[in-house]
Amino acid sequence: MKEKLYVNIRQVFFTSAVFSPVVAQGKAAIRITLRADMETTLIRHFCEFISELLRTHGRDIGS
């Protein structure tokens, strides 16, 4: 059985899942859209949120 990551979040970010054939079979990705008028602090907050989410669930966040 494949491990799934489910999260109940109340944030203001919209993302969508990406699956095969865009990514390798059995893998998934998150599609993120940024706008030119987004504040740097909002983008940093989103990155910190995702990093913490991945750490919480024992996922490698890269370097």
CB 11 within 8 A of CB 49: yes
Read off the pLDDT of residues 1-25 as tens digits, 9 standing for 90 and up.
345 555 555 666 778 889 999 999 9
Q: How far apart are CA 8 and CA 24, in angstroms?
A: 26
Q: What is the pLDDT of residues 16-57, one digit of tens each?
A: 889 999 999 988 888 888 888 989 998 898 888 888 888 888
pLDDT at residue number 7: 55
pLDDT score of 5: 53
Question: Tokens for 32?
Answer: 């993120």
User: How many angstroms separate the CA atoms of 8 and 11, rounded?
Assistant: 10
pLDDT on residue 44: 92
The pTM for the full model equals 0.59
